[in-house]
Structure 1
Amino acid sequence: MNFMSDKSIKKLLHSWYTMLKHRHFSKAEDIKTTLTKHKRRLAKKQELYLHYQLMLFRHQLWMNQTEELAKLKHELMLHKDQMNEELQYYFYFFLGLYESLNSDQNDAIHYIEMAEERLPLLNDELEEAEFHFRTSGIYYNNRYSLLSIRHVQKAIDIFAKHGDVHSIYRCKIVLALNFSDQKKYEEAEAIFFDIIEYVKMIDDQELLGIVYYDAGFIQSRQNRHKEALEYFKKSLRLPAYRKSTHSYVSCLYETVRSCFKENLTEEGMKYIQKGLKEAVASQFDILRMKFQILFLLYSQTPKADEQIATLVTCLEQKEAWIDLEDLLADVSDYYKKKGDFERAAFFIMRG
C-alpha cells in the first residue's frame, strides 16, 4: 500500500465529495475504495477520520444504504463535539438531508438551519450553491414555496457565475415544482419541456427518470392523470432510474394514485404490490403505509376503514402532515363517490 500524507488524504476527501455532488458515482466509488484501504491509518487521526466518516455518510445517503446510514449516524452523533466548524457544517447539512429523506421534515429543517450558521466559515461559493440547492428541496417538500424559491434562486445565481450549466438545470427542476405548488402550471410545464430536452441531450438516464416523474407529478396536480401516467411509465421503463430509490418508489406510488383516478383498479393493484415490496426493502416506512392505505381502500377488505384509521394514526405520530393532506383527500373522495358521507367526513377531518 502506497504511503499517503495527511494533505493528500484531505485532498482526496474533498475530491470524493466533489464526485458525489456531480453524480460521478463510479469515480466516487473508486475514491472510497482507495481511502478505505487507509482506514487503519485514518483512525489514528481524529479529524481526518471524522471527515472520512462524514463523506462515507454522504456516499451512503446517495446510494440509499439505509441500514449502514443509521449506524453511522449514531457514531457521528457521539463525536459531533470533537468536530471542527467545517466538519460540523457537513455533519448538520448531511443530517438534514438524511432526515428529509426519512420524511422527518421538522428535524431536517432544524439541522439545515444549524448548517447554515456555519456555512460562511467555509468561504466556498460552490458549496454555498450546493447548500442552497439542497435546502430549496427540503423547503419544497414542506410546501414553503417562497423560502424554497429564495434558496434555489441563490443557487442559480452562483452556478451561473461559475458557468455550471448542469447544476442550473438541476435547480430549475425545484423551481418548476414550486411554480406547480403556486398553480403556475404553464410556467412549470415550459421549464420541464426545456429540462427534458437538455437531459436527453446529455443522455443521463437516471436523471431523465427523475425529470419524467416530476413532470408527471405536475400533471397529476392538475388532475390530468392520463397524461401523468404517460410520464410515470416513461420513468419506470428506464433501468437506470431504479438507482434513485426514493424517487423510484415515489413514482410507483403516484402511478397507483393515477391508475385509481382513471379507474384502472387492476393495474393499480399490480403497482401497489411492486411498490410495497420496494418500500419495505428500502425501509421507506411512510411510503409503505401510504401503499397499504390505498390497498385497503380499493380492495375493501373487511373493516378496511378501521385499519386505514390505524395507519393514519401512525402517520400522524410520524408528523407526516404533507403526506396526510393529499392521502386523506383521496380516501375521503373514495368514500364520497361510494355515497358513504359519514366515512368521507371522518377522514377529511383527520387532515
Structure 2
Amino acid sequence: MEFGPLIKYYRTQKGITQKELATGICSIPHLSKIENNSKDANEETISLLLARLEVSFDEMEEKEELIKTLLRDFGEKINFYLREEIEVIYQKLKEIEHVVPFSAHMYSYELYKYRYLLFKDLLSDAEAQRDLLHKQKKNFSQHEWYLFHYYNAVFLILKGHFKKADELLEELYIKDDYETTNGEFLYHRALVKTSLDQSGHAIHFGKLALQIFMNQHNFYRILHTIMLLGINYTHSNIYEEALVCFKHLIRNAELLKEEKMLPQIYHNMGYLQKRMNNNKEALAFYDKSLALQTVNSKNYLVTLYTIGELHWSSQTYEKAEECFQTVKSLSNEIGVKKYKLLSEFFLIHMTSLEKGIKYLESKVIPYLENTKEHKDDLTRFYRMLSDYYTSQGMYLEAVKYFTKVH
C-alpha cells in the first residue's frame, strides 16, 4: 500500500491542512515529502498520521490483502462463467474502489474492470476503459501487458472483427507460450477460427481447451467448448461427432434449465439435421429454438429465416411465405440487410422464377460476395443459378457458376 498518497487522499477529503495533520507528529515539509512519496516514513509516523485521520493502519493493510484476494477470485469466477458470483465480487471491489489506486493492484483492478465490461457486453463502456488503460500500458507488468492485449482480442471478437482478433491472439501466442496455454485463451482461439471458417484449426484449439476445462471441472466452459466443436464437426461433415456433441449439450442444458444456451444448441442441432437432409427433425429443433428466443433479435431472425427455407425446400409454400414476410419486416426494423435481401429473393422466386433469378444475380450474389462472410450461402446460390441456366440450355452461364462452386 502506498501510504503517502493515501494520507493525502484522506486529508484532502476531510478538509484538513498539512499543518493540522502534522502538528505533534512530524514537520510540515516532512509530511509533504511523505504525501508525494519522495520520502519514506517509519511505520510509527504513518500510524499516527492515519490515526489522526481516523483511519487504521492495520485496516489499510487488510484492505490491500482483500483487494488481492478479490481480484484473484474475480478472475477465476469469470473464467468459470459464474455470473452471480461475478456480480457479488464486483460489488465488493466497488465498495473499496477508493483505496485501490493506493494499492499494488491498481492496474490489475482496471484490467479486470475491462474484462467485466466485456463479460457484460457493455462495449461502449469497455472501449472507454480500453482507451484509459492504453494510456497507462507503459507501467504494466509483463502479466498485465498480456491481460491487456488478450482482453483487446476479446473486445475485437465481440465487435465482430475476427481477423484482427486472430492476428492479435497469434501474436500473443508467439510472444508468451506460458500465458497462452490456459483454457480461456485456447477457447477464444477456437471461437475465432470458427468465425473465420477454419474448422480444422477450431477443432484443434477446441480439443485443447476442452481438456483443460474438464481437468478444472469448469462446467459452463465445457458446454461452450463442446458447442464450438459440434459446430465445426458439422461444417467439416463429421456428422457422427457433431451428433455426440449436440446430444450431450441438449441433455445437460435441459437438465440444468440453461435457458441462455438452449436456443443456440437447438438451432445448431437443427442445422446439423438439415445438413444430413433430415428436414423434419431439423424443423422440430428450429421450432424449439425459436420458441425460446426474444422476438425482436437477430438470432430470432436467423432461425425464422432458416425455418422459411426448410418450408420452401419442402414445397410448403404458404408457411414459407409467412416466414419470409415476417423476416423481411423484422429485417427492416432491426437493420439486417442480408436477411432482407434473402427473404425478398424467396418471396419473388415463389411468384416468378425468372424474376427471382434476376434478383438473385443482381442483388443477393453481389452482396454476399462483397461481405465475404457467407460461404455456405454463396455455394448454395451458385448451384441454384448453375442448375437454372443448365435447364434453360444456357451452358456458358451455367459453367460460370459451376466453376465458382468448385
What is the TM-score with the length of structure 1 in the denominator?
0.76
Structure-1 separation of matches of 2:134 and 2:366: 33
CA contact (8 A) 1:272 1:291 kept: yes
Structure-2 separation of matches of 1:74 and 1:226: 50
Do residues 161 (structure 1) and 215 (structure 2) align? yes
Do residues 266 (structure 1) and 322 (structure 2) align? yes
Decide whether aligned partners of structure 1 residues 219 and 78 sit closer, same or farther in structure 2, where only a CA change above 3 A counts. Answer: farther
Structure 1 counterpart of 2:305:
256
Q: Tell me, what secondary structure is at the counterpart of 1:186? A: helix
| Matches for 1:114-263 after TM superposition, within 5 Å | 114-117=171-174, 120-122=177-179, 128-164=182-218, 166-238=220-292, 249-250=298-299, 252-263=301-312
Q: Tell me, what secondary structure is at the counterpart of 1:203? A: coil
Structure 2 counterpart of 1:71:
128
Structure-2 separation of matches of 1:22 and 1:350: 42
Decide whether aligned partners of structure 1 residues 291 and 6 sit closer, same or farther in structure 2, where only a CA change above 3 A counts. Answer: farther
Structure 1 counterpart of 2:86:
28
Decide whether aligned partners of structure 1 residues 343 and 250 sit closer, same or farther in structure 2, where only a CA change above 3 A counts. Answer: farther
Decide whether aligned partners of structure 1 residues 100 and 215 sit closer, same or farther in structure 2, where only a CA change above 3 A counts. Answer: same
Decide whether aligned partners of structure 1 residues 191 and 8 sit closer, same or farther in structure 2, where only a CA change above 3 A counts. Answer: same
Superposition CA RMSD, Å:
3.8
Structure-2 separation of matches of 1:312 and 1:172: 29
Instruction: Name the stretch that deviates more: 216-225 or 19-28.
Output: 216-225
Structure-1 separation of matches of 2:254 and 2:305: 26
Structure-1 separation of matches of 2:235 and 2:71: 38
Q: How many angstroms does 1:130 deviate by?
A: 2.2
| 2:158 aligns with one of 101, 118, 142 | 101
Structure-2 separation of matches of 1:117 and 1:333: 41
Structure 1 counterpart of 2:27:
none
Decide whether aligned partners of structure 1 residues 267 and 39 sit closer, same or farther in structure 2, where only a CA change above 3 A counts. Answer: same
Structure-1 separation of matches of 2:113 and 2:75: 9
Structure-1 separation of matches of 2:79 and 2:347: 43
Structure 2 counterpart of 1:328:
378
Q: How many angstroms does 1:325 deviate by?
A: 1.5
Decide whether aligned partners of structure 1 residues 115 and 233 sit closer, same or farther in structure 2, where only a CA change above 3 A counts. Answer: farther
Structure-2 separation of matches of 1:159 and 1:343: 49
CA contact (8 A) 1:332 1:343 kept: no
1:224-260 alpha-carbon deviations (Å, 9 max, x no partner): 4543332233223226xx6xx9xx7345314313413
Structure-1 separation of matches of 2:370 and 2:122: 24
Q: How many angstroms does 1:107 deviate by?
A: 0.6
Structure 1 counterpart of 2:13:
none
Q: How many angstroms does 1:347 deviate by?
A: 12
| 1:289 aligns with one of 324, 329, 337 | 337
Do residues 57 (structure 1) and 114 (structure 2) align? yes
Structure-2 separation of matches of 1:295 and 1:14: 49
Q: Which amino acid aligns with 1:112?
A: L
CA contact (8 A) 1:173 1:195 kept: yes
What is the TM-score with the length of structure 2 in the denominator?
0.67
Q: How many angstroms does 1:183 deviate by?
A: 0.7
Q: Which amino acid aligns with 2:127?
A: A
Instruction: Name the stretch that deviates more: 216-225 or 95-104.
Output: 216-225
Q: Tell me, what secondary structure is at the counterpart of 1:205? A: coil
CA contact (8 A) 2:150 2:172 kept: yes
Structure-1 separation of matches of 2:106 and 2:135: 14
Do residues 16 (structure 1) and 65 (structure 2) align? no
1:202-223 alpha-carbon deviations (Å, 9 max, x no partner): 2222122232222123223345
Structure-2 separation of matches of 1:23 and 1:96: 18
Q: How many angstroms does 1:313 deviate by?
A: 6.8
1:304-348 alpha-carbon deviations (Å, 9 max, x no partner): 665546744762xxxxx3x23123335545656776986996899
Structure-1 separation of matches of 2:149 and 2:136: 13
Q: Which amino acid aligns with 1:259?
A: G
Structure-2 separation of matches of 1:326 and 1:88: 38
Q: How many angstroms does 1:164 deviate by?
A: 4.2
Instruction: Name the stretch that deviates more: 177-186 or 79-88.
Output: 79-88
1:79-105 alpha-carbon deviations (Å, 9 max, x no partner): 333322212222222222222233322
CA contact (8 A) 1:332 1:344 kept: no
CA contact (8 A) 1:177 1:188 kept: yes
Decide whether aligned partners of structure 1 residues 233 and 43 sit closer, same or farther in structure 2, where only a CA change above 3 A counts. Answer: farther
Q: How many angstroms does 1:350 deviate by?
A: 11
Instruction: Name the stretch that deviates more: 61-70 or 200-209.
Output: 61-70
Q: Which amino acid aligns with 1:60?
A: L
Unaligned runs of 5+ in 1: 281-287, 316-320
Find the structure with the greater CA-based Rg: 2
Structure-2 separation of matches of 1:58 and 1:299: 44
Q: How many residues end up aligned between the 2 structures?
A: 327
Residue identity over aligned pairs, in percent, reads 17
